[in-house]
């Protein structure tokens, strides 16, 4: 008994010969080759898709798999790989992870139904990239900072403890002020170079990469011509500040800005 394949969709893009050639050799989430699904009607849009086994991607099975971090990571990296391959040749509209249709016909119907919204959003993203900017406090909360003064041997243990705690708190407060200053600088840099901002959750927990304590995690949509300048200036946003550093990621495909306007609302 073999379950038929479903269609996993990674992204929507404009069709081009270069895109077709570039995605031809790309492997999708289960190693199956990626293909382009054109809409039923005459249009420049295509969906970037690959077949996936029904046994793994039916709702119940998928939900179970997604609880497995190793499986989720493999899926996320494969999804990203296809989106990157697409973005190298075309403006790309990435879809949310694990967007799965029964077959290519349903994907075609989706492209037809959402054609104008998809095309309009692609046009807004044309010529832009996403860059991530994360600010970190170097002082991990709850740990003694290396720069705290050595305890004064003339103090009682209780007073020495309190003074040590006070010193730690002062260092943390200074680092938070430095982080605010850095955030202000990045906002100014964004006013020059970026057109949109999206805020992501603060990164903590086992997957947080550190070092330090993440205090802001933003994504910026930046015209490609400004990407280098934005990256360089943002990287230097903590110059001269103590206890804080910045991590710039990307360029990314515009994941954080790939949102369709609500079709029920009148466009402005």
Partner 1 sequence: MNPPDAVPARSGDPLPQRQVALIDLLDRLLSGGVVLTGDLVLSIADIDLVRISLRALIVSVSERNPAPWPGAGPGGPTGTP
Neighbours of 268 (CB within 10 A): 4
- Give whichever of 155 and 229 is closer to partner 1, judged by the CB atom: 229
How many CB atoms lie under 10 A from the CB of residue 5? 18
Q: 19 vs 258, which CB is nearer to partner 1?
A: 258
User: Taking CA 87 as the corner, what is the angle to CA 83 and CA 90, rounded to the nearest 5 degrees?
Assistant: 130
Exactly one of 190, 234, 241, 246 binds partner 1 (CB under 8 A); which one? 190
Q: Determine the size of the site formed for partner 1 (CB under 8 A).
A: 78
Site for partner 1 in 34-73 (CB under 8 A): 57-59, 62-63, 66-67, 69, 72-73
Rg of the chain over all Cα atoms, to the nearest angstrom: 24
Q: Which of 217, 226, 241, 243 binds partner 1 (CB under 8 A)?
A: 217
Question: In the bound complex, what is the minimum distance in angstroms from residue 105's beta carbon to partner 1?
Answer: 10
Contact stretch for partner 1 (CB under 8 A) within 25-33, 92-100, 144-152, 162-170:
92-100
**133 neighbors 248 (Cβ within 8 angstroms):** yes
Write down the least CB distance from residue 95 to partner 1, Å.
Answer: 5
Residue 91 DSSP label: -
27/180 with CB nearer partner 1: 180
CA gap 27, 78 in Å, rounded: 8
CA distance linking residue 203 with residue 216, whole number of Å:
8
What residues from 10 to 39 belong to the interface with partner 1 (CB under 8 A)?
12
Residue 125 binds partner 1 (CB under 8 A): no
Site pattern 233..262 for partner 1 (x: CB under 8 A) = ---------------xx-xx--xxxxxx--
Among 5, 213, 234, 245, binds partner 1 (CB under 8 A): 213
What are the contacts of 235-240 at 24+ separation with CB within 8 A? 237/133, 237/182, 237/185, 237/186, 237/189, 238/135, 238/178, 238/182
Binders in 137-156 for partner 1, by CB under 8 A = 141
Q: Residue 68 or residue 152: which is nearer to partner 1 going by CB?
A: 68
Q: Which of 3, 20, 44, 102 binds partner 1 (CB under 8 A)?
A: 102
Judged by CB under 8 A, the residue of 15, 89, 114, 115 near partner 1 is: 114
Q: Which helix (H) or strand (E) holds 246?
A: strand 244-252
CA distance 120 to 232: 31
* Of residues 186, 176, 199, the one with CA closest to residue 237: 186
Q: Determine which residue in the list 26, 49, 82, 100 makes contact with partner 1, applying CB under 8 A.
A: 100
Residue 55 · residue 62 · CB < 8 Å: no
Least distance in Å: CB of 1 to partner 1? Answer: 19
Burial of 175 (0-12, 13-18, 19+ CB in 10 A): buried
**Shortest spacing between CB 230 and partner 1, in angstroms:** 11
């Amino acid at each position: 008994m073999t379950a038929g394949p479903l269609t996993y969709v990674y992204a929507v893009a404009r069709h081009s010969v270069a895109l077709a050639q570039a995605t031809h050799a790309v492997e999708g989430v289960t190693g199956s080759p990626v293909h382009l699904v054109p809409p039923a009607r005459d249009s420049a849009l295509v969906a970037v898709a690959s077949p996936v086994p029904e046994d793994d991607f039916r709702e119940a099975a998928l939900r179970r798999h997604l609880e497995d971090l190793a499986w989720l990571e493999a899926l996320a990296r494969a999804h990203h790989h296809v989106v990157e391959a697409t973005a190298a040749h075309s403006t790309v509209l990435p879809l949310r992870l694990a967007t799965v249709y029964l077959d290519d016909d349903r994907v075609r119907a989706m492209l037809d139904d959402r054609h104008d919204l998809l095309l309009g959003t692609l046009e807004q993203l044309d010529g832009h990239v996403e860059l991530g900017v994360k600010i970190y406090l170097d002082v991990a909360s709850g740990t003694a900072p290396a720069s705290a003064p050595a305890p004064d041997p003339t103090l009682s243990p209780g007073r020495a403890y309190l003074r040590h705690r006070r010193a730690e708190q002062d260092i943390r407060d200074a680092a938070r002020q430095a982080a605010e200053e850095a955030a202000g600088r990045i906002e100014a840099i964004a006013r020059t170079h970026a057109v949109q901002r999206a805020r992501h959750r603060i990164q903590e927990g086992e997957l947080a990469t550190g070092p330090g304590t993440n205090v802001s995690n933003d994504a910026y949509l930046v015209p490609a011509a400004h990407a280098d300048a934005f990256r360089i200036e943002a990287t230097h946003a903590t110059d001269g500040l103590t206890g804080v550093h910045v991590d710039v990621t990307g360029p990314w495909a515009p994941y954080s800005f790939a949102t369709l306007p609500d079709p029920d609302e009148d466009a402005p």
